[in-house]
Structure 1
Amino acid sequence: MANMQMVFLGTSSAAPTAERGLSSIAIMREGELLLFDAGEGMQRNFIKAGIGMNRKMKVFVSHMHADHCAGLLGLLQTMALLGRERPLDIYGQPRLKEFLLENMRIINFHLTFEIRIHVITKEGVVAEEGDYTVSCCEGQHSVPTLAFRLDERDRPGMFDVKKAKKLGVPEGEIYSRLQHGRDIKYKGKVIRSADVVGPARQGRKIGISGDTRPTKKLEKFFSGCDVLVFESTYSHDKLAKALETSHSTATEAATLAKKARAKKLFLTHFSARYEETSSLVKEASAIHKDVEAAEDLKAVDIPYPK
C-alpha cells in the first residue's frame, strides 16, 4: 500500500493575498513528490510544509501564466542553494522549456542537479511509473492550458491465507507469487492464483483542472476521480466575469464534478475579492454532496477506494 497525501501550497488566483499564495499543489506518494504548478513565491509554503528539497520529484505545469509557472525559477534556485543532487523531471508545453532556459541564462544561476524537461505536445499519458501514470487533457483558457490526472494501477486482490493453508501452500515466497497473479506448481499440484486471491483492488484517481472553463472533454477526462481539484475563481453571480476571463464559477465546478461522478471536490484558485470562501462552498454544495475549499498548507490524506 502506498500512502498518499495532498498539500495545497497556493490557492489564490492571479494575485496573492495575505492568507493565500499562488497556485501550487503537492502530492506526496511513497516518498515521491508530484508538484502541479508553481506560482510566484510558492517555495515559501513548500518550505513551511516540510516537504523536503532532495526527494524524487516531478513537476507538471498547466500553462504559461506567472501565477502558475514563475515560482519554478525560485524553487530551482532554492533547491540548488540547499544542495539538491537528484535529477528533477519537469513537464509542460513547449514554451515552458524556453522560459526556463532563457531565464536561467539571464539570471545566470547554476544548478547542482540535472533538470530533464519533457515537452508535452499532445494529450494522453505524459509520465509513467510502474504503478501509476499521469495524463493530460486540454482545457479552455485564455492561453493554451492543460489539466492533469494521476491514475494508480490496480493493486493485487486480497490474499486468502486460510484458503492457501487449506491447499497446503507453505508461507513465504510462494504466497507473493500467487498474490501477484502467478500460478504455481507445488508437490505436483497446480495452484492457481485465482484460487487464493480476490479480485484486483482499484487504485486512486486524482484530477487537477488548472485554469479553465468547464468542458465536456474535461468532464469525460475526470470521470470517476476519487478527488477532483477544480478552479473556482468566482461565485456564479460573477458568471459574466468568468466567461470574460476564461475561468469557472463554484457552481460550474460542482456541476462538472457531479457529472463526472467525482467523489470529492476541492475548490481552489479563488479571486482575491473573496476574503473567505464559505459562500462558494455553500454554492457548490447545493450541487455536489462532498465539497471543501482548499486552503494554503491544508494537508489531505487520500485513502484507497473502499
Structure 2
Amino acid sequence: MVSLEVIFLGTSAAMPTADRSLSSIVVNRNGTLLIFDAGEGMQYNFIRANLGFNKKTLLFITHLHSDHILGILGFLQTLSLQGRTLPIDIFGPKPLHDFIFENIKLLRINLTFQINIHKISDSKGILVEEKEYKILYCKSEHGPGVCSYAYCVVEKNRPGKFDIKKARTLEIPEGELYSLLQQGIDIVDKNRVIHSSEIVGQTRPGRKIGISGDTRPSENLCNFFKNCDLLIFESTFSSNELLKAKESYHSTAIETATLAKLASVHRLCLTHFSSRYKDLEVLLDEARSVFFPTELAFDLKTICVNYKN
C-alpha cells in the first residue's frame, strides 16, 4: 500500500499570525516530498513535521508573491546545514530562476547539493511524469501581470484486484507467473493459456490531489480539479468581502465550495486565511452550506488520502 498524505506547514494569507505561518504544503507520497510554495520561515514547521532532510524532494511555486517564496532561501540553507546531498528540482514561473540564484549569490549561501530550476511558460501541461504518478499544472487567475499556477498530483491507474482463490484453483504456481498476470500479461502454464483478465479485475483509479495557490475561481480550474480526492483551495475571505476578493484576485469560502461541488471533488480543505478572521468557523459554515465535505487547514495538520477501492 502506497502512503499519500498532506501536511500543512503554513495556512495564513499575506501576514502570519500567532498560530499560522505563511503558505506551504507538503504532499508526502511514500517518502517522496512534493512541496507546494515556501512562505517565509517554512523550514521551522518542516523540521517540526519530521519530514527528513535528505529525501527525494521537488518544490513547486504557484506564483512569485513574497508570502509564497521568501522561505525558499532559508529552506535551502537549512537543508545544506543538515548535510543534504540529493539534488532538488524546483518548478515555477520564469523569474524564479533569477530570484533564487541572485539571492544565493548575494547571501553567500553555500549549498551542499544541486538545485535544478524548471521554468513554466505554457498555460497547462505535465511537469513531472514518474512511473506511478504525474504532476499537472494549469494557469490560475491572480491578477494582471501575475503569472500564477495551480497544481495536481495525479496517480496513474493501479492494476485490478488479483483473485488469489481462482489462481490457486487453477493451480498456477506462485511467483513470476502471478507477477505477469498482475501486469496484465497472459501466460502459458501446463500447455494452457491463462488470460490475465481471468484472474485480475478491472484497473482501479489512483488518487488525485489539487492545490489552487492564490486565485479567483474559474471554469478552467473547475475542469482541472475534476474528481479530486482532495482539493486544497484558498479561502482568503468570507462572502461579506466578495468585492475585496475580486479586487485582490482571491476567493471567498462560498466561491471555493461552489467550485468544489461543480468539480465533483470528494473532499475540500480550505486554507490561506486572511488574518482578519479570528474565528474561522465563519468561513467553514459558509463553505459547508454549499459543499458539506469541507474542513479547515491548520499548521501541521495531516490529511491521509486513501484509495477509493
TM range (shorter): over 0.9
Instruction: Tell me what 1:305 maps to.
Output: 308
SS of residue matched to 2:259: helix
- What is the match of residue 126 of structure 2? 125
Q: Secondary structure at the match of 1:171?
A: coil
Matched, 1:16 2:16: yes
The answer on 1:274 being equivalent to 2:268 is no
SS at match of 2:14: coil
SS at match of 2:91: strand
The CA deviation at 1:276 is 2.5
CA apart distance, 1:181: 0.6
The separation in 2 between residues aligned to 1:231 and 1:105, in whole angstroms, is 33
State which of 191, 194, 199 in structure 1 corresponds to 2:197. Answer: 194
Match of 2:213 in 1: 210
1:31 paired with 2:34, answer no
Look up the match of 1:238.
241
1:153 paired residue among 149, 153, 156:
156
Cα distance in 1 between the residues matched to 2:148 and 2:208: 20
1:78-227 map, 5 Å: 78-122=78-122, 123-142=124-143, 143-227=146-230
Normalised TM-score (structure 2) = 0.98
Query: What letter matches 2:202 in structure 1?
Result: P
Deviates more, 1:204-213 or 1:172-181: 172-181
The list of structure 1 runs, each at least 4 consecutive aligned residues, that deviate by more than 2 angstroms after superposition, is none
Which residue identity lines up with residue 134 of structure 2 in the other structure? T
Which residue number in structure 1 is paired with residue 64 of structure 2?
A: 64
1:133-162: per-residue Cα shift (whole Å, max 9, x none)? 000001000211000001000110000011
Number of equivalenced pairs: 306
In 1, distance between residues paired with 2:188 and 2:243?
A: 68
Percent pairwise identity? 50
- Shift of residue 225 of structure 1? 0.4
Q: Which 5+ residue runs of structure 1 have no aligned equivalent?
A: none
Cα distance in 2 for residues equivalent to 1:141 and 1:164: 55
Aligned AA (1:20): R
Q: CA separation in 1, counterparts of 2:64 and 2:194?
A: 55
In structure 2, the gaps of 5 or more residues are none
SS at match of 1:284: helix
RMSD: 0.7
> Residues 142-201 of structure 1, C-alpha deviation per residue, up to 9 Å, x if partnerless?
211000001000110000011112222111111111011111111111111001001111
Q: Once the 2 structures are TM-superposed, how far is the Cα of residue 31 of structure 1 from its aligned partner?
A: 1.2
